[in-house]
Amino acid sequence: MRVGSPFVALLVLALPFVAFLLLALVRPLRRSAPAAATVSIAAIWTAVLAAFWLSWRARPRGLLQSPSTTWAWIPADGGPMATVGVMVDDKSMTMCMLVTFVSLMVQVYSWAYLHDEPRTALGRYYAYHSLFAFSMLGLVLSPTFLQMYVFWELVGLCSYLLIGFWYDRPSAARAAVKAFWITKLGDLGFVAGIVMLWTTAGTFDFWELFRMASLNTLPLQGLPLVMFLIYLGAVGKSAQFPLHVWLPDAMEGPTPVSALIHAATMVTAGVFMVTRAFPLFVLVPDVLTLIAWVGAFTALLAATMACVESDIKRVLAYSTISQLGYMMAAAGAGAPDAAFGHLVAHGIFKALLFLGAGVVIHVFHTNDVFRMGGLRGLPLLWAPFLIATLALAGVPPLPGFFTKEAILAGVLEAHLLVPFLMLALTAFLTAFYMFRVVFLAFFVRGLGEPHAHHRVPELMSGVCWALATLSVGTGLQLARVTLAGSRHGEAWLPLASLALAGGGIVLAWAMYQRGALDPARVAAALAPLDWMARRRYGLDVLFAGLYRGVLLVLSRVVGWTDRYVVDGVLNVLSAWTLRAGDRLRRLQSGLPQDYVYGVALGALLLFVLAQWRLW
């Protein structure tokens, strides 16, 4: 383990925040698109440099030395109740580099991609982007659960804002709300888990908690429930079954936003949290097994849905869900490092996939892969997408191969045979559906015609090539490390995963490029599966039904109760008061002698009572 300087980390954190503040508060800056973009990109560019410098200057540290630098936040007797600060270890430094770099790429790309947007909207867009980068950096640098939760919610807010960037489209507005509420459902568990953990352990601090875990002083009573609740937060954020339904809908946002959400900022938060808190998850093997099973199931489910989807961005969304399932399965199988490695590698090539998809969407003005195609003569366009696809499918020497293989090895080592088989099948399906997209979108002659006048801006292809180079570089680095290191996994595993990827690619080629197999006949042969996958296994309908059947009915009942029971009681009471007042009014005759009668009788009564001591 190495630690970096906390002050450089604070600088990385502060830069996007300052950019956000400038854009949010200084009106002329926000109204002028070039100025807004310059501020935001300059800040994130400096943050990239700072993040790499942070990692480069990191020094090894002793095992007992905490990587956190914290300041008191909520003071209390006998030490602060909560602290804030930064935790600068290998994980957070790697994440800082990934987040800042992908943010930079996406922001630069957005300038070209959203060039036709209204100038004022772009200022808003870049302000959200800066806030998003700040939130995610704060999340990965958090040394405590509480601070992580604060940034966790900020990340959710930013994704809501960006998914709903085109808020005048009803579908985008609905998708944003859906994303917000469904992730919020998981967050409820997360916050409950954090508070319960605090009541038993007395601290939010990761390092303290890890030390307690290693010294066996953490009370194990009730810990499985606590960790399960915390895991629920990751289920929502990282789109695990059954809370994955928000992610495909989130495609309503601009394509660069999807790239950011899927690669670096939003959905990775859940996996990152599980790997960060892994020393605590280790204490609860049952929850870990659950995580592995849910992850593997999510991976397979999403892969099957991706196979029948025709919207290029939705295919990528399902592939993200599927890969997140992979990461979760690895974490659940007790291989958090494999999960983290896949998280980083996936971040790079998934950003590239989305940005590459943005290029073809830009060319064809549609998301439908069947209306694309015929770009064989333009290798500058399809080569980066192909590299990313190969990386996702798991072809060496690209990074996906090594990290996926590490995950499969980890799951196999944990003797989770069924999840392993599910993941292996997913690997095959991943290669198949990704190459289906590649063949349909780029090579086969489709129904649509490219808009010839719409040249792809150099900025967009430049960003794609930069990410492609980074992908290849990461892959080569991983290959070097893997070949140099002593292997301890099964020898047949790399070959098997290579064969699975190859099989998927060949099948896609045979079906969509060569035409040897008719896709319609394959679909007919697998009719029940095809029917269910096309309807997304009814999960969207189920959630919509739950919303309508439970939430709306509940709110009607609550509304009725409020209107007729709560208000009704008050109305009856006030009506009675009015009527009683009307009756009692008659007592006031206005005649002085009547009042004197009253006083005299009252006095007499008191005398009588006093005389006979009646009270």
Partner 1 sequence: MPLIAYLTLAALVFAIGLFGVLTRRNAVGILLGIELMLNAVNINLVAFARFHADLAGMIFTLFTIAITVAEVAVGLAIVIVIFRVRRTVEADHLDLLRG
Per CB under 8 A, residues contacting partner 1 are 585-593, 596-597, 600
- The sign of the CA dihedral 491, 483, 2, 94 is negative
Residue closer to partner 1, measured from CB, 171 or 577? 577
Nearer to partner 1, 564 or 597 (CB): 597
Supply the minimum distance, in Å, between the C-beta of residue 588 and partner 1.
Answer: 3
Question: CB of 563: closest distance to partner 1 in angstroms?
Answer: 35
Q: Kindly state the smallest distance separating residue 595's Cβ from partner 1, in Å.
A: 9
Q: Please choose, from the candidates 495, 355, 376, 373, the residue with its C-alpha nearest in 3D space to the C-alpha of residue 436.
A: 373
Rank residues 586 and 613 by Cβ distance to partner 1 and give the closer one.
586
Return the number of the residue (217 or 589) whose C-beta is nearest partner 1: 589
| CB closer to partner 1, 76 vs 591 | 591
Dist. CA 347–CA 471, nearest whole Å:
10
Residue from 4, 172, 173, 20 nearest 88 by CA: 4
| φ, ψ dihedrals at 77, nearest 5° | -65, 135
Q: Which is nearer to partner 1, 485 or 592 (CB)?
A: 592
Question: Measured from the CB of residue 585, what is the shortest distance to partner 1 in angstroms?
Answer: 4
Residue matched to tokens 């949290």: 273
Between 78 and 590, CB nearer to partner 1: 590
Question: Which residue, 583 or 613, is less far from partner 1 as judged by CB?
Answer: 583
Rounded CA separation 508/497 (Å): 17
For residues 163, 272, 345, 240, the Cα torsion angle rounded to the nearest 10 degrees is -60
Q: Which residues of 187-220 are buried (b: 16+ CB within 10 A; e: fewer)?
A: bebbbbbbebbbeebebbbbbbbbbbbeeeebee
Min separation Cβ 598 and partner 1, Å: 11
As measured in angstroms, the least distance from the Cβ of 612 to partner 1 is 19
Q: Give the integer Cα–Cα distance in Å for 15 and 34.
A: 19
Strands 59-60 and 82-87: unpaired
Instruction: Report the nearest approach of partner 1 to the CB of residue 584 (Å).
Output: 8
Contact in structure between 11 and 49 (CB atoms under 8 Å): no
Our CA dihedral for 23, 27, 33, 36, rounded to 10 degrees, sits at -20
CB 138 within 8 A of CB 151: yes
Taking the complex as a whole, the smallest distance from the CB of residue 589 to partner 1 amounts, in Å, to 6
Instruction: Choose between 77 and 582: whose C-beta lies nearer to partner 1.
Output: 582
User: Closer CB to partner 1, residue 415 or residue 585?
Assistant: 585
CA distances from 427 to 4, 179, 357, 508, 530 (A): 36, 27, 21, 14, 19
Residues with Cβ within 8 Å of residue 113, at least 6 apart in sequence = 254, 255, 256, 358, 362, 460
H or E element, residue 87: strand 82-87
